[in-house]
Structure 1
Amino acid sequence: MTASKESRTADAPAAGRAMSRKAAASGWIGSALEYYDWFIYAQAAALVFPRIFFPEGNATIAVLASLGTYAVGYIARPIGAAVLGHWGDRKGRKNVLVLAMFLMGVSTFVVALLPTYGQVGIIAPILLTLVRLVQGFAVAGELSGASAMIIEHAPHGRRGFLASFALHGTVAGQILGAAIFLPMSMLLSDEAFTSWGWRIPFVLSAVVVLAGFLIRRRVEETKTFEEQQETGPEAHKVPLVEAFRENWREIVRAVCMTLVNVIGVTVSVFGGAYATQSGYGVGMSTTVYLWIQIAANVAGMFVVPVFGHLSDRFGRRPIMIGGGLVAGLLCYPYLWAVSTNNVPLTFVLAVLSWGVAYQSWNATFACFFQELFPAARRVTGFALAQNIGLAIVAFLPTIFTLVAPPGSSNVPLTIGTLCLAITVVASIATWKSPETYRIPLDRLGSPDAKPLSREAYEELRAAGK
């Protein structure tokens, strides 16, 4: 072997580690930027849209309609998952991430330009719904593409930790989405905030498109994808068809696992409406509730990488099951604290339920879902399962409002019981899925894949291969 070949061989592990870090950083930044767009809509749907995009006179109808436009974005997500998942499995992980970012940034910017109900009547909520559909289509390809790129660049034994950075980015996006509303609600009068102040966060999404493009164009396509395209036996098959034919069990289980996201919509969407809309009579201020969400997500930023690391040591399933069940149980006291307008207790319980317990599930699921599918249909399988599950979850705030409408006296008990039941279903689905953390990358998704022995796994993990 020549000196130059020896040098290249010696540099290969270092180059691989550098690319894995770059992929994780790209996943973090891209997810933060794109989910900033997604979550500012959620904030506005709970706090502002009921008053400006729908007719006055009935608080229940206004809240239902506004939360319905939030949910309708999730209707488009399974469609986006099919289209963008195919794109990611056939055109590349990198390409689908750039496309998703562009669509999300443009559609979010358009929200800032929409007229209100008072200006154009029924046309206003129709336009709002159409833009939300585009948002839903675009975001369906974000996390599936980002986490696929990360795990395919990651060294063995580090997939969970590195993939958690994509979810860390979504938490950062939520913080930014809530924080950007704070100066508006604190410094502006209520009239100014509802007339033009709420538009500023949406205008800023124009920066997202440029920043995301500059970041993501620097990450190389994964070798797993390139090898699959060149030599894989499924290179010319349709990922969507093959996913439903070969992996329908994994898709069903992953859809059920995704229902744990009920915790997020309970705290951030339904909880926001419950706490701040006059029909419920709680009377918590918009500013206070935004600070509650920020506090919960700041806690999440600290614990997400920790849980990702723990999933590499002890497995994906115990982390996900434990976190989901604890978060479901905590919905009871959390909603009770909101109902009594007990701000300090609401802060503490939001941090414990959403900021810690739920984040243990959130930190782990992306890697786990990717590991359930083979490379040829990895983005498609993940995207379909996640977005079908999220489409179900998205309608839960509307359902919650129907079963516990403004004026109801049993909101904590009713909604808390529903949340716990849903997390139990998700936990059963997780338990029924195979543990994946000790299976090598090239064997993931294979029906006869065997995990490495504990000793072999720890040896590869220590070597960083």
Structure 2
Amino acid sequence: MTSITAVDGASASAGTPHRPLNRSDYQTLGLSALGGTLEFYDFVVFVFFANVIGSLFFPADMPEWMRQLQTLGIFAAGYLARPLGGIVIAHYGDKLGRKKMFTLSIFLMSVPTLVIGILPTYATIGIAAPLLLLAMRVLQGAAIGGEMPGAWVFVAEHAPARNYGFAIGTLTSGITGGIFLGSIMGVWLNTTYSQAEVHDWAWRIPFILGGVFGLVSVYLRKFLEETPIFREMQARKAADRELPLKTILRDHREACVLVALMTWVLSTAVVVVVLFTPSYLQKVFHIVPAAAMKANAVATVTLTIGCVFWGWLSDKAGTRTAMVLGWGGMTATAYLFYMGLPGTEASLVGSYALVGFFVGSISLLPVVGVRAFPAPVRFTGLSFAYNMAYAVFGGLTPVLISTWQQVDPLAPAHYVAAMGVLGAAIGLLWPLATKGWQPSRA
């Protein structure tokens, strides 16, 4: 296959550079987004049932604070495993093919999720219960480390250049939809069953369903085709060179720094606005849990919509414009939201939804990150920079915010706003962030 270069340095991944999305593109995008939704659901559903899991997988006489700490430690183990899993899966994705590793990552997520749903508890097998739970979380972390970069690269290398940002934004919206799916599952389970039933057996339902549907997605991904870019590399043996990570560390350090800084922006937006804020609303402003979760659910929906919009805008108006408007808007709406608390229920939902929409500009990270690396090492480069940065910033952010808010209740607003400024500045000042899409060898 030959790559066709378009005006302004953009080139198509397949066919002519200005062709519209066709039926095959929509199938690729749909199956990729569905798999991403299910895989991210499998990864985050643990946190929605952390209290129940803690009571079942640790000794009953263990102090509550220690039980909670160890449960959250097992949850965090998934994040710590992301870099290693991402690097290994991405290495073979650059060597053996995007599709094979794209399918393997969801398989590695689905099986541990299903196993968690049927694991015996501490009362049955003793210390083996939390150890097995930890092992499953490590496998999940390794899988998610390869899934997101793999999905972004896979879709980017299939999509026509004119719809590059829209395709990646749509895929990212599907991945973030996994958070919403997990939240809805938690609400449904707790309203359908009593607390005793949830504790006794119903907590297993979301894990079993997640594992089963994930395995169905593994089967469906068989119908995806390898990307044209990787087939082109195979044809000229470009994938048979030195270790991809060695090339990344020697020749593409600027791209790694760029992706790492943008990952800092992304991880802050997701961890603080989406995951941390519901608890913050309840503890600092004494907003009832039902109202906090409702507002969070609405914000997650607008986040999902925003991912598509900001990706689309990068196609229509350029990446620089999308980054400045998206992340600049996140700065402004973060202050609007947090400074307006507690407000009324309507203002809470409205302002949370607005900041959620601008948080959707996180889809600009993969828009920039995929094209920052040349095709032979693209998967490895994006996965290495993204997962290493997420492990650091995603892990430190909750600790930083929790400590900071003890002296300033507006700490979340200041931190999110600062990251918005950083993201907008990258768009304005960093040429590599706004270069055209060139899927073939750089």
Query: Above 0.5 in TM-score?
Result: yes
The aligned counterpart of 2:221 is 216
Match of 1:180, SS state, is helix
Of the three residues 124, 138, 145, the one matched with 1:140 is 145
* CA shift for structure 1 position 400: 4.0
1-side partners of 2:131 and 2:328: how far apart? 38
The aligned counterpart of 1:357 is 358
Residue 105 (structure 1) aligned with residue 110 (structure 2):
yes
2-side partners of 1:118 and 1:303: how far apart? 45
The aligned counterpart of 2:274 is 268
1-side partners of 2:166 and 2:82: how far apart? 26
2-side partners of 1:111 and 1:181: how far apart? 16
Map residues 194-209 of structure 1 onto 2, 5 A cutoff: 194-209=199-214
Amino acid in the other structure paired with 1:388: M
The aligned counterpart of 2:347 is 345
2-side partners of 1:223 and 1:99: how far apart? 20
The aligned counterpart of 1:294 is 297
CA 1:380–1:428: 2 relative to 1, 3 Å: same
* CA shift for structure 1 position 161: 1.1
The aligned counterpart of 1:463 is none
2-side partners of 1:346 and 1:52: how far apart? 35
* CA shift for structure 1 position 81: 1.3
The aligned counterpart of 1:432 is 430
Alignment deviations for residues 49-97 of structure 1 (CA, whole Å, 9 cap, x no partner): 5665567897766655544433321111110111010111111111111
| TM-score, length-scaled by structure 1 | 0.80
CA 1:136–1:325: 2 relative to 1, 3 Å: farther
The aligned counterpart of 1:449 is none
The aligned counterpart of 1:419 is 416
* Runs of 5+ unmatched residues, structure 1: 1-11, 447-465
Q: Percent identity?
A: 28
* CA shift for structure 1 position 123: 5.6
The aligned counterpart of 2:317 is 314
* CA shift for structure 1 position 218: 0.8
CA 1:190–1:329: 2 relative to 1, 3 Å: farther
2-side partners of 1:283 and 1:53: how far apart? 31
1-side partners of 2:431 and 2:80: how far apart? 26
Count of residue pairs brought into register by the alignment: 423
With 323-332 and 153-162 compared, the bigger mean Cα shift is at 323-332
Of the three residues 254, 270, 288, the one matched with 1:284 is 288
Alignment deviations for residues 6-63 of structure 1 (CA, whole Å, 9 cap, x no partner): xxxxxx7789833322222222111111111122123334x65566556789776665
For the Cα contact (< 8 Å) 1:270–1:400, is it kept in 2?
no
Map residues 135-284 of structure 1 onto 2, 5 A cutoff: 135-233=140-238, 235-260=240-265, 261-275=267-281, 282=286, 284=288
1-side partners of 2:304 and 2:88: how far apart? 31
The aligned counterpart of 2:10 is none
2-side partners of 1:325 and 1:50: how far apart? 40
CA 1:326–1:114: 2 relative to 1, 3 Å: farther
For the Cα contact (< 8 Å) 1:43–1:177, is it kept in 2?
yes
The aligned counterpart of 1:367 is 367
For the Cα contact (< 8 Å) 1:27–1:147, is it kept in 2?
no
For the Cα contact (< 8 Å) 1:32–1:171, is it kept in 2?
yes
Map residues 376-391 of structure 1 onto 2, 5 A cutoff: 376-391=376-391
Alignment deviations for residues 181-231 of structure 1 (CA, whole Å, 9 cap, x no partner): 111122323333344333211110122233212321111112210111221
| TM-score, length-scaled by structure 2 | 0.84
CA 1:159–1:394: 2 relative to 1, 3 Å: same
Match of 1:441, SS state, is coil
For the Cα contact (< 8 Å) 1:335–1:412, is it kept in 2?
no
Alignment deviations for residues 237-291 of structure 1 (CA, whole Å, 9 cap, x no partner): 21111111111111111111111221211133322443457xx683632x54443
Map residues 395-410 of structure 1 onto 2, 5 A cutoff: 395-396=395-396, 398-400=398-400, 402-403=402-403, 408=406, 410=407
2-side partners of 1:334 and 1:117: how far apart? 43
Residue 22 (structure 1) aligned with residue 27 (structure 2):
yes
For the Cα contact (< 8 Å) 1:370–1:382, is it kept in 2?
yes
* CA shift for structure 1 position 233: 4.3
* CA shift for structure 1 position 98: 0.8
For the Cα contact (< 8 Å) 2:78–2:142, is it kept in 1?
yes
Amino acid in the other structure paired with 1:442: S
The aligned counterpart of 2:8 is none
* Runs of 5+ unmatched residues, structure 2: 1-14
CA 1:57–1:284: 2 relative to 1, 3 Å: farther
Q: CA RMSD, aligned part only?
A: 3.2
* CA shift for structure 1 position 370: 0.6
2-side partners of 1:433 and 1:65: how far apart? 44
* CA shift for structure 1 position 234: 5.2
For the Cα contact (< 8 Å) 1:315–1:435, is it kept in 2?
no
Match of 2:203, SS state, is helix
For the Cα contact (< 8 Å) 2:20–2:162, is it kept in 1?
no
CA 1:136–1:124: 2 relative to 1, 3 Å: same
1-side partners of 2:70 and 2:398: how far apart? 8
2-side partners of 1:71 and 1:217: how far apart? 31
2-side partners of 1:325 and 1:427: how far apart? 6
Residue 44 (structure 1) aligned with residue 49 (structure 2):
yes
The aligned counterpart of 1:441 is 439
